[in-house]
Amino acid sequence: MIELKNVCKTFKVAKRNAGFGEAVKSLFCRDYTYVQALNDVSFTVNDGEMVGYIGPNGAGKSSTVKIMSGILTPDSGECIINGRTPWKDRVDHVRDIGVVFGQRSQLWWDVPVIDSFELIRDIYKVSREDYKKSLSSLTELLNLSEILKTPARQLSLGQRMRCEIAASLLHNPKILFLDEPTIGLDASSKIAVREFIKSINKQNKTTVILTTHDMQDIEALTDRILLIGKGRILLDGTLAELKKRHSAFKTITVDYTGEKLPACENYKVTKDGDGRGEIIIDTRVITASQAISFISDHVEIKDISVTGETIDETVVSLYKEFAI
Amino acid sequence: MRKYISFFRIRFIAGLQYRAAAWAGIATQFAWGGMNILMFRAFYEEGSNAFPMPFDSLSTYIWLQQAFLALFMAWFFDTEIFDSIVSGNIAYELCRPINIYNMWFTKNTAVRLSKAVLRCLPILIFAAVLPSPYGMSLPHSIGAFLLFLLSMILGFLVIVAFSMLVHATAFFTISPKGIRVLATSVIEFFSGGLIPIPFFPDWIQPVIYALPFASMQNTPFLIYTGYLSGIEALKSIGLQILWLLVLWCVGKLIFRYALKRVVVQGG
Amino acid sequence: MKLYFKYVGMLLRSQMQYKASFFMTAVGQFLISFTTFLSMVFMFSRFNSVKGFIFSEILICFSVVLMAFSITECFFRGFDVFPRLIKSGELDRILVRPRNEMFQVLASDMDLSRIGRLLQAVVMLIYAFITCDIHWTGYKIITVVLMILGGVAVFTGLFVLFAAFSFFTIEGLEFMNIFTDGSREFGKYPVSIYGEGMLKFYTFVVPIALFQYYPFLYLIGKSENMWYMLLPLLGFAFIIPCYAFFRYGLRKYKSTGS
**CATH code, domain with A302:** 3.30.70
Distance (Å) of CA C147 to CA A91, C144, C198: 36, 5, 20
Residues A147 and A102 in one domain: yes
Helix (H, G, I), strand (E, B) or coil at A198: helix
Contacts of A24 in chain B (CB under 8 A): 16
Q: Is there a domain that residue A259 lies in?
A: yes
Q: Is A177 in contact with A183 (CB distance < 8 Å)?
A: no
- Looking at chain C, the whole-number percentage of residues with pLDDT higher than 70 is 98
Give dist(CA A95, CA C99) in Å, integer. Answer: 9
> pLDDT tens digit string along C178-219?
899 999 999 999 999 999 999 999 999 999 999 999 999 999
Residues A178 and A225 in one domain: yes
Contacts of A20 in chain B (CB under 8 A): 9, 13, 16
DSSP designation for C204:
I
Residues A257 and A190 in one domain: no
Residues A115 and A196 in one domain: yes
**Could you tell me which residue, B100 or B68, shows the higher pLDDT?**
B68
Q: Is there a domain that residue A15 lies in?
A: no
- Over residues C212-227, the mean pLDDT reads 91
Q: Which of residues 50-79 of B touch A (CB under 8 A)?
A: none
> Helices B142-168 and B218-225: crossing angle, nearest 10°?
170
The whole-angstrom distance between C138's CA and the closest CA on chain B is 33
pLDDT above 90: residue C66: yes
β-pair type (A32-45, A2-14) = antiparallel
Contacts of C96 in chain A (CB under 8 A): 69-71, 94, 97, 99
A23 inside 8 A of chain B by CB:
yes
Of A178, A195, A179, which Cα lies nearest the Cα of A187? A195
pTM exceeds 0.90, yes or no: no
CA-based nearest residue in chain C for residue A120: C97
A241-245, B77-81, B159-163, C63-67: the lowest-pLDDT one: A241-245
CA-based nearest residue in chain C for residue B48: C47
Q: Is B30 in contact with B123 (CB distance < 8 Å)?
A: yes
Query: Can you give the pLDDT at residue A12?
Result: 76
* Cβ neighbours of C137 (radius 10 Å): 9
B180 inside 8 A of chain C by CB:
yes
Q: Is there a domain that residue A304 lies in?
A: yes
The total of structural domains in chain B comes to 1
Q: Which residues pair with A2 in a beta bridge?
A: A45, A81
Its domain, for residue B99, covers: 2-265
Contacts of B121 in chain A (CB under 8 A): none
DSSP designation for A263:
P
> Helices B100-129 and B142-168: crossing angle, nearest 10°?
140
- Over residues B216-222, the mean pLDDT reads 93
CB-based burial of residue A320 (10 Å sphere; 0-12 exposed, 13-18 middle, 19+ buried)? exposed
The total of structural domains in chain A comes to 2
Helix (H, G, I), strand (E, B) or coil at A251: strand
**B60 Cβ neighbours under 8 A, 6+ residues apart:** B136, B137, B224, B225
pLDDT above 80: residue B92: no
**CATH code, domain with A86:** 3.40.50.300
Its domain, for residue A265, covers: 248-308
- Over residues B39-54, the mean pLDDT reads 88
pLDDT above 70: residue B264: no
Residues A291 and A224 in one domain: no
Would you kindly state where each structural domain of chain C is located, as residue ranges? Answer: 26-251
> pLDDT tens digit string along C17-63?
777 778 878 888 888 889 999 999 999 988 888 988 999 999 999 99
> pLDDT tens digit string along C91-120?
888 998 988 888 999 888 888 888 888 999
Q: Is B152 in contact with B220 (CB distance < 8 Å)?
A: yes
Q: Which of residues 3-42 of B touch C (CB under 8 A)?
A: 18-21, 23-25, 27-28, 31-32, 35, 38-39, 41-42
Query: Can you give the pLDDT at residue A109?
Result: 82
* Cβ neighbours of C198 (radius 10 Å): 18
**Could you tell me which residue, B267 or B88, shows the higher pLDDT?**
B88
Give dist(CA B59, CA B57) in Å, integer. Answer: 5
CB-based burial of residue C158 (10 Å sphere; 0-12 exposed, 13-18 middle, 19+ buried)? buried
Please name the helix (run of DSSP H) or strand (run of DSSP E) that holds residue C7, with its range, or none.
helix C2-15
Q: What backbone phi and psi angles, to 5 degrees, belong to B100?
A: -65, -45
Per-residue pLDDT of chain A (324 residues; tens, 9 = 90+): 899 999 998 887 766 656 666 666 666 666 677 888 898 999 999 999 999 998 887 788 888 998 998 888 888 999 999 999 998 888 899 999 999 987 788 888 888 899 999 999 999 999 999 999 999 999 988 889 989 999 888 888 889 989 999 999 999 999 999 988 888 888 888 898 899 999 999 988 999 999 988 888 888 888 898 988 888 888 888 877 777 766 677 888 888 887 788 888 778 888 887 888 888 888 778 888 888 888 888 888 888 888 877 667 777 777 777 776
β-pair type (A50-54, A207-211) = parallel
Residues A88 and A184 in one domain: yes
DSSP strands (E only) in chain C = 49-50, 53-54
Query: Can you give the pLDDT at residue A287?
Result: 83
- Over residues B75-99, the mean pLDDT reads 77
State the amino acid at position A131 in one-letter form.
Y
Query: Can you give the pLDDT at residue C258?
Result: 43
